[in-house]
Amino acid sequence: MRQARVLPGVLLGVLLSMMIVLSAQAEGTDAGNAADRQDAQALLKKIQAAAQKLNYSGTFIYQQANQIRTSRITHVLEGRNEIEKLEILDGQPREYIRRNEDVTGYMPETKTKIVEKRVTQDGFPAILAALPSDLSDYYNIKLGETGRVAGFDCQAVLLEPKDNMRYGYKLWAEKNSGLLLRAQTLNGKNEIIEQISFTQIGIGNVDHRSLKPSFGNTSSWHTESNVINPANLNEWSVTGMPAGFKKVRELKRLVTDGPPAKSSASASATAARREVSQLIFSDGLVAISIFIEPGSQSRTEGSLQQGALNIVGKRQGDYWLTIVGDVPPAAMRQVANSIELKNK
């Protein structure tokens, strides 16, 4: 009987000890998770800074569904000036040289230069536009495994979406510099649906002469200015934008229909130009753009998916809307169905 009275106390002591151990383990796990999140966010900050502040030059491939494209990028920071040259290596030759926000595109087959302002700042490897702390509201951010990309040791960081309105991402950063060497887009099944990756990269010393156009003297080429102006498009409302996507730009641009003529500047000057409005929303990692123009042209409504990119075209009264975004089809449908023209 005495043992029977003592035993519950012994069991209680054992249970209390187990609870203390489990509590300590849970606290240790929470502390470990918090440290992991902090390390992952610190790596994202490093990735963000490296793309803008380092000198580098390399070749990368962009794989989207069954398409693969190869490009070469050269990036230099001269004082406060950021200079970048992007060469398209597949298909028709193309080069784009950016000095801060000013971009000049070179099209040698038509001897045309296109001058415009940079609209978004999401070109690889500079894909991050928001602070990591802001992204953590909509993504679970944590460190992944280590590995090698283009001959460099890398640390992976994972961004797992907290809803089904965005994709997941796996980013591979070079361990020393933090430069992003590979970015993979993952669907809800954790399958890679799109990726961009350096195959060769040099970090540090860059020959500044390689930033010049490859086409010799282009002074006789036709120059076409893509006029992009800030606009107030408050008459358009979008109520179905996924959580975290904020309006970042409102623009109006003149768009030329068809390629410029090869013969002369006068011929290209007569090419049809039309005004297109653009609303840009971003969650700091990816963007959704809504293009708005008069709906006089004959077009068929529908949608198209290519890798992570989704496009929806629809008629809205007297207007034609084209919605473009690197978000799942469900998010695109929600956005497209929520666009309204006020007081119409």
Single-letter residue type at 193: I
The DSSP code for 50 is H
| pTM metric for this prediction | 0.84
d(CA 144, CA 158): 6
Element (H, E) at 147: strand 139-149
Q: How does the average pLDDT of the chain come out, rounded?
A: 87
The DSSP code for 90 is S
Mean pLDDT score, 88-112: 95
pLDDT tens digit string along 213-263?
A: 999 899 999 999 888 899 999 999 999 999 999 999 999 988 766 555 444
Q: What is the dihedral of CA 174, 285, 68, 289, to 10 degrees?
A: -160
Looking from the CA of 30 toward its CB, the CA atoms found within 13 Å total: 6
pLDDT tens digit string along 268-326?
A: 445 567 889 999 999 999 999 999 999 877 788 999 999 999 999 999 999 999 999 99
Show Cβ contacts of residue 70 under 8 Å, excluding neighbours closer than 6 positions.
59, 60, 61, 62, 89, 90
Q: Measure the N-to-C terminal CA separation of the chain; round to a whole number of Å.
A: 87
User: How is 51-86 classified by DSSP, letter by letter?
Assistant: HHHS-EEEEEEEEETTEEEEEEEEEEEETTEEEEEE
